[in-house]
Amino acid sequence: MFTSPSSSLKSRPHFLLLKSAAINTVFGVSMTTRRQMLKIKGMSEAKVEKIKEAASKILGSSFATGVEVQDKRKRVHAISTGSKSVDGILGGGIMSQSISEVYGEFRTGKTQLAHTMSVVAQLPPELGGASGKMELINECSMRFAEDKDFRLLIVDSIMALFRVDYSGRGELSERQQKLAQMLSKLTKLSEEYNIAILLTNQVQSDPGATMTFVAGGALKPIGGHILSHASATRLFLRKGRAEERVAKLVDSPDRPESEASYKLDEGGWADVSYESYCDLSRQYDPKPSPAQLPDGTVVPPYTGPGIDTFIKEFGREDLLEYMNHYWVSQGSPNADFWGHEFSKHATCTSTFDIACYGPGYRKNQDVVNYFDAAIRAFHQYPTFDMLAAAGIVPSNATAYTLTQFQTAIESQTGGIPYFGCSNNGTVLTEVWYFSHVFGTEQYGTYKTVASTTKSSCSATGAIRYLERTPSSEREVRK
C-alpha cells in the first residue's frame, strides 16, 4: 500500500482524498492528526484508522534515538543570505527543517533577501546554495512530493493577507487560530521535505516601549506569540547609514544573540565594505558584531577584565564617572558596550595604532585616548542645546521639518550632519556629525563637514522630536 516514507501515495480512492488535503507521503500521514483527517470529505473513522495503522507499520515507532536524530540533522543544509557577516551569526545561513523569520520596517531588505535566496538556493553548496530549483507554486505539498529538488519555500509576507482579511480585536482570535494552522503546515513541510522556510514579516509600533536611542527600539513584529513560537530563528532588521543595514539575531535554537551588518546593492544582500575589528590583539568586545569578517576571519569573544579596568589603571576616575553617567548601554553592562566601540572602530583608525605611539607607549594608553577623544567630540556638538537655540525643543505635540533641523545645526557648526529617523522617517532618533581632523584624533581639532549620507528622515513630511521619559533624562552640560 505504501512504499517508503517519502514516496507519493498511490491512486486509490482514499489516497486521492488524502492528496486533495495536501497529504502526499507516509510521513505526512503520521504528522496529521486523526481529527484533521476526519475533516476530509469522504473520510470515515474506519478509513482513518486503517490508514494510520498502515503508516505506523511502515514508519515504526515515533520515538527516535539520539543517533537517529543526529543522522537526520546531517541532512540539514544552509542557504546563504548573500552576506558572509549575517551567515556567520546564523551558523552558515538559513537552515532547512525549520522556519526562519525576518522582520523589520520598510526598506530594510526583507524582499531583497527573498530574491537573493531564490537565486542562491539554486547554486551548488560550495557557493552557499543547495543545488535546488526555483518555481512559483500554488500547491506546495504535491510539488515537493513529486519533485525532490526544491530546497526553499518563501512566504513574503506571512501576515500581509491576515492583516487585510481580519481586522479589529473582534476577529483577533479567529485570525490567530488560522495563523497557527498555517504555521503548523509550514513546519510539517520543512521537516517532511527537508526544506528551508523563510518568512518575512512586518512590524508595528509598541506603545508600551519607552523611547530609546536604538533605531527601531519601539518596533515589534506582528503576529503575536503564535508566530514567535513557530519560528525557530528570528532576525530583526533595522536601517543603518545609507544602504547599510543591521541584522540582529533575536532567537535561535543553537546560536547566541548577536548582530551583523550588511548592505543592499544591485545584487541583493552583500557585505559592507568598511573595516571593523582591524586588530584582534586589541579585541575587548564580549559579543563582537559582526562575529565573522568578510574575509571569513572569526572575531573571538573577549573574556578578560572589563575595559573600565584599563581606565582605572590610569587614574582616570573622572573619565569613568562621566562615561557611566552619560555613555550608558542598553541591555548590557556599560563596559561591554565601550569595549565594542573601541574594538570595532578605534582599531581601524591609524592614529590609535600602538606603533604610532612610539617607545613611550603605556599599555592601554590608546584605550584612554580614544574615549577622551569621543567625549571631546561629544562636547563640541551639543545637539540638544543647538536645536534649543533655534527654538526646536522636544515635544510630543509639535512637529518639525527636516529643513528646520538641518538649518539649525548648519548655522552653528558650518555643516549639515546626518539625521536619522524611524517610523517611516517621522521620528528623529539620531544625529551623526562628520569632521576633518587637523592633527590626530587624540589631540587635534575637528572641522565640521557636511554629511555625504542621505538622511533617512522624511524630506517633506512632519518629523517628531519626542520628549524623553523621566528615567532617560540626562544632563549633558557638565
Residue 14 and residue 409: Cα distance in Å, rounded?
74
14: buried, middle or exposed (CB in 10 Å: 19+, 13-18, 0-12)?
middle
Q: What's the pLDDT tens digit per position in 395-432?
A: 999 999 999 999 999 999 999 999 988 887 899 989 99
Residue 444 confidence (pLDDT) above 80: yes
Q: Cell digits for 420?
A: 536619522
Q: Cell digits for 18?
A: 488524502
Q: Are strands 233-239 and 196-201 parallel, antiparallel or unpaired?
A: unpaired
Residue 216 confidence (pLDDT) above 50: no
User: What value does the mean pLDDT of the chain take?
Assistant: 81
Quote the percentage of the chain above a pLDDT of 70.
83
Most confident option among 67-81, 235-249, 382-396: 382-396
Residue 76 confidence (pLDDT) above 50: yes
Domains of the chain, first to last = 13-63 (1.10.150.20), 72-273 (3.40.50.300), 275-379 (3.90.730.10), 383-472 (3.90.730.10)
Q: How confident is the model at residue 195 (pLDDT cuts 50, 70, 90)?
A: confident
Q: What's the pLDDT tens digit per position in 364-397?
A: 999 999 999 999 999 999 999 999 999 999 999 9
Quote the percentage of the chain above a pLDDT of 90.
28
The SS3 assignment for 422 reads strand
pLDDT of res. 39: 74
Give the global pTM: 0.55
Q: CA nearest 182: which of 214, 157, 147?
A: 157
The SS3 assignment for 98 reads strand
pLDDT of res. 24: 65
At residue 52, what is the residue type? K
**Residue 446: beta bridge partners?**
437
Q: How confident is the model at residue 4 (pLDDT cuts 50, 70, 90)?
A: very low
Residue 439 and residue 152: Cα distance in Å, rounded?
54
Most confident option among 79-88, 133-142, 178-187, 342-351: 342-351
Contact indicator for 87, 295 with CB cutoff of 8 Å: no
Listed range (13-22, 185-194, 260-269) with the worst mean pLDDT: 13-22
